[in-house]
Structure 1
């Protein structure tokens, strides 16, 4: 298995989390950066698709977690998943990206405290 294949679920989860958070956190972040315009209101058109994005986030990170935490004996010798240092680094990256995705997915609940 190549490195690109093993990173795909985490990258897909982050992209789906950005899609889920763009309707709520997107306009707020753009306004904080000084970007304004009437087009910012169109970002809320993605709100009906938010549950689909959340489902994609959960599926992607579930699959990525399974791949990162599967037993070493399931890995073929000589592959990257059999190297302990690489496994530990991937676990750290998995959790950092999962926390980032959680912040983006739940942004519509906590963003009101900053607005």
Structure 2
């Protein structure tokens, strides 16, 4: 597996784990936003006990991606994509953008009551 593929897998894993960590509240919030409601929505919280595990996975994948972007600069040979400053800058921008989005998604279960007004 190339270094580029490993970096993509780290970010993809963080995104999937972030969505899993907020699935207990994110799904019902979307359904309520679409006007779909009912008592069965309360049963969509089945993933709530696994939320800490998903949060740990998000942290692990983000740390791996961070290490890959900022700590392994010396292992990049000339001629590889990671040696090009524009590519490195774009990768870091994507990393921080995904990181901010994941923080919002992870915080959603805690801020949802304020957003919904109860």
TM-score (norm 1): 0.89
Count of aligned residue pairs for this structure pair: 115
Match of 1:23? 24
Match of 1:55? 56
Give the distance between the partners of 1:13 and 1:22, measured in 2 at CA.
Answer: 14
Q: Which runs of 5+ in 1 are unaligned?
A: none
Aligned-residue Cα RMSD (Å) equals 1.6
1:19-42 Cα deviation digits (max 9, x unpaired): 001102220122102334555333
1:24-61 Cα deviation digits (max 9, x unpaired): 22201221023345553332010000000000000000
Q: Which runs of 5+ in 2 are unaligned?
A: none
TM-score (norm 2): 0.87
Match of 2:109? 108
Counterparts in 2 of 1:1-115, with a 5 A limit? 1=2, 3-115=4-116
Kindly state the Cα deviation for residue 76 of structure 1 after the two structures are TM-superposed. 2.2
Kindly state the Cα deviation for residue 85 of structure 1 after the two structures are TM-superposed. 0.6
Give the distance between the partners of 2:16 and 2:40, measured in 1 at CA.
Answer: 22
